[in-house]
Amino acid sequence: GAVVSQHPSRVICKSGTSVKIECRSLDFQATTMFWYRQFPKKSLMLMATSNEGSKATYEQGVEKDKFLINHASLTLSTLTVTSAHPEDSSFYICSAKPAGANHRAQYFGPGTRLLVL
């Protein structure tokens, strides 16, 4: 149980294009999903908290117009990197927290490697 998928797993795009990354909880409902960014050999940095049916909460320094987040259902959140540039190249990973107060862990997706040329 508690499986989270991400699509695509790897994407290469040209500078200036937009890229959409999907995060799905496959066997549970998640009212809250989180988006992280990880640079090579570094730790995960939280970008934003995605809440179903409401606007995402962005961490300080993260441009909300650059990284658009939509959490339209209890099993799907999307991250769109708009007008991507080479500095946006990174590993993006989402996590989902099962609905219900008793769940402790967040479950992570396998991540998406983005390379912007």
Partner 1 sequence: AQKITQTQPGMFVQEKEAVTLDCTYDTSDPSYGLFWYKQPSSGEMIFLIYQGSYDQQNATEGRYSLNFQKARKSANLVISASQLGDSAMYFCAMRGIQGAQKLVFGQGTRLTINP
Q: Which stretch binds partner 1 (CB under 8 A): 18-26, 61-69, 72-80, 97-105?
A: 97-105
Q: Does 109 bind partner 1 (CB under 8 A)?
A: yes
Question: Which residues fall within 8 angstroms of residue 97, CB to CB, at 6 or more apart?
Answer: 30, 31, 32, 33, 34, 103, 105, 106, 107
At its nearest, how many Å lie between partner 1 and the CB of residue 83? 25
Report the C-alpha gap between 49 and 56 in whole angstroms: 6
Q: Which stretch binds partner 1 (CB under 8 A): 22-30, 42-50, 66-74, 76-84?
A: 42-50
What DSSP designation does 86 have? G
Report the C-alpha gap between 15 and 12 in whole angstroms: 10
User: Which residues are near partner 1 by CB under 8 A?
Assistant: 32, 34, 42-44, 46, 49, 51, 57, 91, 93, 95, 97, 104-111, 113
